[in-house]
Structure formats: C-alpha cells, structure tokens
Amino acid sequence: MFVSGSLVMAQGKSEAEINQIKQALFAPSQKGLDVDTLSEQEIPYANLVQDGSRGYVLKNASGQTIRTLFDTDGDGQLDQWGFFKDGVEVYRDIDTDKDKTSDQMRWFNSAGTRWGVDANKDGVIDYWKVISPEEVSEEVTIALTTRDWNRFARLAISADDVKALQAGGELTQKLNAKAESIRQGFQQSLQSIPVSENAQWGQFWALRPAAIPVGNNRELNVYYNTYALINDGDASTQIQLGSLVKIGDAWKVVDAPRLYSADAITSIFTGGTNEMSGLQQDIEIEEMSRQIESLEESIKSTSKEQRTEIYNKIAELRIKTAYLFFTKHKDTENRDKWLHDLADFMYTAVTVDSYPGIEKMISMSKTLKEGNNPEVAAYMQFRAIEAAYHHSQSLGNAPADSYTKYVGDLEQLVKDFSNTQTAAMVQLNLVSEYEMSAQLEKAREAAQTLIKNYPSSRIAEKAAGVMRRIDSNGKPFLFPFQGHSTTGSAVDINQYKGKIILLYFWASWSDIDGAQAAAMKKILSLYERDGLSIIGINLDNSQEEMAAYVKKYDIKWPQIFEEGGQESRPAVYAGINMPPFFILINKEGNVVNNHLILPEDADRAIFSLIRGE
C-alpha cells in the first residue's frame, strides 16, 4: 500500500501521496468511537511517516498522531491499526490470523479497558475477553436502547460460563436456571424500561465486590447487586442490573435488567437482598453526585472572585454524601474515600483559587480525630499543611520562614497522628527534607523510627533505602541495578567497572518538554571521552511509557525498568522518592555523590570528579 521508506511532506504532494494518506485514514471496525480524523482540507497537510520496519504513522499538520499501521511480527503484512484521540491511542483493531481483517478489538486509555473478539469476522464482537463492571453497564444500556439481544447476550452468563465457574452443586443449579431464563428476562426488560433510542449511559453504581469461597481454595468474584443510570434527554432512568460475576477477566450479568423499584433483586449468591435498604438512599446519593458534578462544571465559567460560594456548596455536598454512606449503608470504606477526596478537592481549591478553606480543613481534621477516625483526620491535616505552605508562598512571604513552618507542621502531625499511614508517609517525606537540608543525623533518626514502627512495610523498606544511600559515599552501590533495556538486552552495572557511572533515576512524566533528555545528551557528549557511562533507571508505571519517551527523544544510553514505578525495587533500594535523581560512581565502583537532584548538579559533580577535586 505504501512506498517503502517514503516521507510524505506537508506541501507539494503528488496525487499518489494524497491517496496513500486517504487509504491510511481508515475507520475503526466498531461504531461509536470518539477518535480524531482529518477533513478533506487537512489531508494535503498531513504526514505519513514510515516507522522503521514496524509500519507507518499518520500525523496531522501539527505533528499529532492520528493513525498507526503496524506489522508487529515482521512478515511484511500490516496486522495492527491504532486510532488516536488528542495524540493518545484509544482503540486498536488487530488481525491475529493474517487474513487482512481484524478479529480482535481493544480499547485503551480514556476509552476504557475492553477487549473484544470477532471470531467470524463479520464486524460484530462475539465475546469479551476483558470488560469491567462499568463497561458492562454501559453495554447493557446500549443493548436496551438498540433493542439488541445479541449485544446483551455477550454480557449474559451462559451454560458454558457456569460450567467454567465450577461453583458447586446448588449454586451451579441456580446459575444454570438464570442462564436459561435470561433471554426471556431481557425481552421483558425491553417492555418495562422506558428508554428511547437516543438514551445514553450515565453512571454505574454498586457497593464493594465480594469474594465467595467455592471450595478447593477457589473463589468467585461477584457484585451482589448493581445499578445503572440512563440519561434520556432531560429525564433520567435508574435500572437494576442485579448480580455480576467475574469469569476470567470479563464481568457478566446474571440477571436481566429491570426498572428500579423499592425491592432489590434477590441475589442468588447470598440468598437475600443486597445491603441497601431502600430506594430513597440511592436517589439521594445519585442526586448529590449530579449536583456536585454540575457545580464543579460551573467553576470554569465563574469568575475567580465568585467561586468561594461554589466551593462551599461542593464541600457541604461531599460531606453529606460521605456520611450518608456511613449512617444509612454502614459503609465506612466509601465514607472515608469521599472524605479523602474532599481533602484533595479543598487543597486544590486553596492552591488554584486561593479558596479560604485552610481553617475549615483543620477544623474537620479535629472533628474526625475526636470521632475516632484518625487516618482520615491525619490526611485532612496533611493536605491543610500543604495548602497553607503553598498559599504562604503565593503571598510572597519569606521563603525560609514559610519552609521552617511547613517542616514544623509536618513534624507536629507525625506526633499527633502516630501509627497512621499518613504519619508514616509524612515522616518519609521528612527524611527527604532533612537530607535536602544536609541534616543527615535527623534523616537517619527519622528513617530508623519508620523502620522500627512499620516493620515489613514498603515505607520501612524505602526508609532503609534512604539510609543505605546517604551512608554510601566511598562504598560500592551495585547490587540491585541489573535489568533489561528497551531492546531486551541485559544491563548490569557490574559490567561497567573501570567507567564513571551516572545512575539516572527518571520518569517520562517528569520531563514533559524533553529538557532533561537534552541536558543528559549534552552531559554524555561532554564526558563520554573521559569514561562516563549513563545508566537510566526508569520509574514510569509501564514499559510502554518508557519506550515511547526513549524513541521520541532518541535516547542511546541503556535503561533498566522494573514494575512498580516509584515503588519499584531499584527506587526502594536507593530510597528515591521523586525523579530526576542521580548517583555518581567512580571508576573504582565507589559512590562519590549520592544526592544529585538536577542535571546541572550531575554536570558539576562529574566535572569535579574528572578534575580530581
């Protein structure tokens, strides 16, 4: 289809080149996807670039990716087609059997997690390999609005599913009965649920899932009862989806949907109804959630001076919702989640719009502590301290005074909320603050306290890593830094003896504009002749994120990646809390500087080492 090695330029394109771009601008196999495309007027300014042996990338005039067309196994035939929204891949068609027709469909990033299979290549998904409960509720909504039994059947438990679950005699009988009657139930749903063809999915609702033991160390993951909100013009309809059960990586419905009623659907997994005790409770939460969403949306169009009242209303609604979970559902988990989110919300309001909410946060923290909820109280206090520090800086207060108060407030929090996870996290932050200000004895003391009070925890391991690093000057620091590069080749720091080694802890999200990449390239060009080798230790959450960055900025030095991001094994071993961070090792294999924060710090340290200073 495409000329090998060609680069279609933005201007002066031939008719053949224009046709190549048009052919690359194919449509996804599935409908209803929000992906970027090109208009007729934009096509002449788009670029179709060959991506090595992988295939081709179609970009618009501003350089943003629109489509990718890849040959993933090197057989000379395209087998993967990617679709993008705002430069991010949201959907992919895949041909696994080489007949030039996609048979697998995957959703990514903001589009969700679904993974469907079209076994007979008719353009219709036959079954889901992966689908979340939220996406199940959306698919049920579409099945209702389109009156499509086949679409619903892909979500419904079948006799084969029941057999695969091996749930035991009595439960298997109940599940088989559900599987046999669910088609008839769906037909009744179409008669009883008043939704038009223009209705759209709005929200999924459920209490926490449950794990049900079924013998031989096996368990079923289920939701006892679930709900969905369908928006139809100005009206909203709430439906009961009933029970969901997880089969492999896909969730399936056990019941046909029905219009919400005061009587919950009886769950076959419990022999009774779910924990919810009435219609009004759900409607209250749904209504408050809609009010919060509407108020948050209105912030954008409201002047900064008038936003305080909106923030107050949102905070009040969030508090009411949190305690509705607790008082009517006895659900402390969701209560604490809403209060935790409230702390984040108020922190953002203070730092972005100077919302006068710091005293309210401190007052709420006190009330929560008195109410025997120290964990959330500590987090609310922590966010209040951070908000106050940022607000003080925005007022132009003396930086040294603001910082001293900030550290003092954090130290007081650790004392007031000992034995909470928030206090442990804050104390780990204080270890870094002490190290930053060269208070190494205080850093060691705080780290030792964490190790003593939180044994066998990740925080204790990180504290031990900080101590290991700050005591490493003049000693080898080699053990954990082995791994595989983006090309799959082995990377082992022990193979670099006789070289100056710069361990570079980094993440793509900490270098959005590529400034660090440019600085590191310059450092390597300056000192490589003097024996410098850079070893990157990536702290991204996925290897794909790392690989995209390495490719974008043409990084040549080797990279080590392990799962876990900032909590990965290398980061924990070295006590690294935030990238970028550098450790410099001399040709003898000993650490000469264990606390370099910026590329320019690394540059000066390397220069001094080479000069023998």
Q: Which residue has the higher pLDDT, 537 or 330?
A: 537
- Is the pLDDT at 241 greater than 60, yes or no? yes
The whole-number average pLDDT for the span 108-137 is: 92
Question: Closest Cα to residue 336, out of 311, 350, 359, 318?
Answer: 318
Residues of the chain with pLDDT > 90, as a percent, come to: 49
Q: How confident is the model at residue 379 (pLDDT cuts 50, 70, 90)?
A: very high
Contacts (Cβ under 8 Å, ≥6 apart) of 20: 1, 2, 3, 6, 8, 48
Helix (H) or strand (E) holding 169: helix 169-192
The C-alpha atoms of residue 312 and residue 353 are separated, in whole angstroms, by: 13
Q: What is the pLDDT of residue 488?
A: 55
Cis peptide bond prior to 580, omega within 30° of 0: yes
Instruction: Label residue 328 exposed, middle or buried (CB < 10 Å: 0-12, 13-18, 19+).
Output: middle
Structure tokens at 277: 């005790």
Cβ–Cβ < 8 Å for 516, 524? no
Q: Using the Cα atoms of residue 244, residue 250, residue 256 and residue 262 in order, give the sign of their dihedral.
A: positive
Q: Which tokens belong to 464?
A: 């031990």
Q: What is the CATH number of domain 482-611?
A: 3.40.30.10
pLDDT of residue 480: 60
pLDDT category of residue 171 using cuts at 50, 70 and 90: confident
The answer for residues whose C-beta is within 8 angstroms of residue 118's C-beta and 6 or more apart is 29, 102, 103, 104, 105, 124, 125, 126
Confidence of residue 174 (pLDDT cuts 50, 70, 90): confident
The better pLDDT of the pair 11, 318 is held by: 318
pLDDT at 275 over 60: no
User: What pLDDT band is residue 265 in, cutting at 50, 70 and 90?
Assistant: low
pLDDT band at 97 (very low <50, low <70, confident <90, very high): confident
| CA separation for the pair 490, 494 (Å, rounded) | 11
For residue 457, what pLDDT is reported? 80
6 has pLDDT over 50:
no
Q: Which tens digit of pLDDT belongs to each residue from 276-296?
A: 333 344 577 778 888 888 898
pLDDT attached to residue 11: 53
Return the beta strands (E) in 328-394 as ranges: none
pLDDT digits 0-9 by tens, 330-359: 888 888 989 999 999 999 999 988 899 999
Query: What DSSP string runs through 535-596?
Result: EEEE--SSHHHHHHHHHHTT--S-EEE-TTGGGSHHHHHHT--SSSEEEEE-TTSBEEEEEE
Percent of the chain exceeding pLDDT 70 equals: 92
Question: What local confidence, expressed as pLDDT, does residue 271 receive?
Answer: 47
CA 152 to CA 182: how far, in whole Å? 10
- Say whether pLDDT at 37 is over 90: yes
pLDDT of 64 above 80: yes
- Predicted structure pTM score: 0.54
Q: How confident is the model at residue 247 (pLDDT cuts 50, 70, 90)?
A: very high
Instruction: Please name the helix (run of DSSP H) or strand (run of DSSP E) that holds residue 319, with its range, or none.
Output: helix 307-329
Residue 362 has pLDDT above 60, yes or no: yes
SS3 label, residue 380: helix
The token pair that represents 278 in the structure block: 């009435």
CB atoms within 10 A of CB 13: 19
In the chain, where the domains are located: 15-128, 132-276, 283-417, 482-611
pLDDT of residue 486: 58
Question: Average of pLDDT values for 499-504?
Answer: 94
Which of 353, 361, 366, 369 is CA-nearest to residue 385?
A: 361
Q: What band does 485 get if pLDDT is binned at 50, 70 and 90?
A: low
Residue 226's pLDDT is 86
Over range 207-226, report the average pLDDT. Answer: 80
> What are the beta bridge partners of residue 560?
537
How sure is the predictor about 13, in pLDDT bands with cuts at 50, 70 and 90?
Answer: confident
Across the range 243-268, mean pLDDT stands at 81
Q: Say how far apart CA 401 and CA 419 lie, in whole Å.
A: 29
Residue 489, pLDDT score: 62
**Residue 4 confidence (pLDDT):** 39
Q: Are 92 and 106 in contact (CB under 8 A)?
A: yes
- Distance from C-alpha of 168 to C-alpha of 183, rounded to nearest angstrom: 24
Alpha-carbon gap, residue 81 to 57, rounded angstroms: 10
What is the tens place of the pLDDT at every residue in 556-602? 999 988 888 888 888 998 999 889 999 999 999 899 999 999 999 99
If you average pLDDT over residues 438-457, what whole number do you get?
88
How many angstroms separate the CA atoms of 226 and 373, rounded? Answer: 29
CA dist., res. 337 & res. 329, Å (int)? 14
Is the confidence at residue 55, as pLDDT, over 70? yes
Quick one: pLDDT at residue 605?
Answer: 95
